[in-house]
Amino acid sequence: MKKYLCRIGSFLLALALTAGLGSPAALASSTPPPVTETPSPAATAKEPVESEILNSMQVEAAAAILVDVDTGAVLYEYNAQEQRYPASITKVMTALLALEAVDRGEISLDQVVTLTDDLYQDIGEGGSSADLRAGEQLSVLDLLYCVLLPSANEACNALAQVTAGSIDAFVERMNQRAQELGMEGTHFTNTHGYHDAGHYTTAYDIYLMCREAMEHETFRTITSSRSHDLPATEFHEARTIYDTNALISSWQYGSRYLYEYATGIKTGSTPEAGYCLASAASKDGRDLICVVLGAENPVQAGGTTSRLQFSESIRLLEWGFNSFSTKTLLDSTYFAGTIPVTLSRETDRVGAQASGTLEALLPDDLDPADFQITPEFSAESLAAPVERGQVVGTVTVSNGDTVYGSLDLVAVDSVARSELLYRVDQIQRFFSLLWVRVALIVLLAVVLVLVLRWLLFGRRRRYGGSRPAGRRRSRYSGRRRRR
């Protein structure tokens, strides 16, 4: 009986041990994985470094932003999220919606538009105009030139009507498109930017709007033009209209503010908004967009008026072109250390390196070697098989609060799987399932009950518990009689 009990106890103990295995590798080896001898290159934190180039730039305006178009890098910003009045820079959105309607085939550039009586809706005194008249006929393209060069308010209303059916419906589209572009600080109440307390935006939102508009070739062609010839109509002889952007055209201020790299975009001014300019420039294969809002036009000692919306924009653009360059922050030569590997007899660790190249447009006085590099593995260990190039984590480059981007970390070698360790792992996983553990406990309880029952009742039956007492007495009495 003791032999049977020992066998049963051994079986139950084996089940309990199997269900509680902590790692399949423990069945194959009692030696734990070694600790990495060489720490990660980013183990030591680095203090943020500052750029004197960035700290030295200040713009004379209420708000400004300078962005590299190709990378989206904000090179300079000042009150860029502050809500301000955009004045006629609003017309960029008006032109954008009209050009998008052209792209969809809803209207065409050569379509002739007859101007209506509500041409001057929501336009007060002193607003910029091309002297268009109700009943006058112009093409959509001519109206776009009127909107973007001399900044004609009434031309905006004309485009709104032909594009959306009514001015009010067009304004709704302007706000909808602004939300689609991520212009969270923007609300439009009219098509042209004539002052209204509920008509506002931010320098950053204007950048988003201009970036989208500059994707259209027609928009770029118009905003980089110095002038445009309008055909004769019933109300006007053939005439020439000029661009109000002094970076493009010398019509108003001579050559004083002409900027050879300028490619657009739009001026704007009201007493409430101040003097504003959204500009674009291209130099040495780089494209920048600059927004200056709320600039002043101070009179100098000699009686000359300084048009700061133009001069500050040129200064910002030149600073952006001359003070920044593209630098490599990280590439595939970066080694992040090793990560433990399980289920393999070949090795217990595999190396990880960066995949690809991370670049950024940086001030010339910043060295990427001074930046913080932070690797992060996706798991504490990897289960074999591991393929070379398999993503095992990420590595991030930052400088203080500025995060420049991340690259994947990939395995530098392949690691084969041990089938024995894999099978052991599968068994361990099976016995780690809750329902299996519950079933084992139930089985153990049942076996214990059966053993106890056998011990209690089986012993009694074996040693006389099942035989009548009278029969045992007759045997003894018989023996006595024979004696």
Instruction: Give the per-residue SS3 of the chain.
Output: CHHHHHHHHHHHHHHHHHHCCCCCHHHHCCCCCCCCCCCCCCCCCCCCCCCHHHHHCCCCCCEEEEEECCCCCEEEEECCCCCECCHHHHHHHHHHHHHHHHHCCCCCCCCEEECCHHHHCCCCCCCCCCCCCCCCEEEHHHHHHHHHCCCCHHHHHHHHHHHHCCHHHHHHHHHHHHHHCCCCCCECCCCCCCCCCCCEECHHHHHHHHHHHCCCHHHHHHHCCCEEEECCCCCCCCEEEECCCCCCCCCCCCCCCCCCCEEEEEEEEECCCEEEEEEEEEECCEEEEEEEEEECCCECCCCCECCHHHHHHHHHHHHHHHHEEEEEEECCCCEEEEEEEECCCCCCEEEEEEECCEEEEEECCCCHHHCEEEEEECCCCEECCECCCCEEEEEEEEECCEEEEEEEEEECCCECCCHHHHHHHHHHHHHCCHHHHHHHHHHHHHHHHHHHHHHHHHHHHHHHHCCCHHHHHHHHHHHHHHC
346-359: pLDDT as tens digits: 899 999 999 999 99
Q: What is the pLDDT of residue 31?
A: 36
Mean pLDDT of 65-91: 97
pLDDT bracket for residue 463 (50, 70, 90)? low
Q: What is the pLDDT of residue 311?
A: 98
Q: What is the pLDDT of residue 468?
A: 52
Mean pLDDT of 463-476: 50
140-187: pLDDT as tens digits: 999 999 999 999 999 999 999 999 999 999 999 999 999 999 999 999
Q: What is the pLDDT of residue 32?
A: 35
Q: What is the pLDDT of residue 268?
A: 98
Residues of the chain within CATH 2.60.410.10 domain(s) are 2-49+329-420
Rounded to the nearest integer, the mean pLDDT of the chain is 88
Q: Which of 111 and 44 is assigned the larger pLDDT? A: 111
- In this structure, whether the domain defined by 2-49+329-420 belongs to CATH 2.60.410.10 is answered with yes
Q: Which residues form the catalytic set?
A: 88, 91, 151
Residues of the chain within CATH 3.40.710.10 domain(s) are 61-295
Q: What is the pLDDT of residue 22?
A: 44
The CATH number that domain 61-295 falls under is: 3.40.710.10
Q: What is the pLDDT of residue 143?
A: 98
Mean pLDDT of 330-338: 95
Mean pLDDT of 451-458: 78
Q: What is the pLDDT of residue 462?
A: 58
416-430: pLDDT as tens digits: 987 777 677 677 777
13-56: pLDDT as tens digits: 444 444 444 444 444 333 333 334 334 444 468 999 999 999 99
Q: Does the pLDDT of residue 296 top 90, yes or no?
A: yes
Q: Does the pLDDT of residue 397 top 60, yes or no?
A: yes
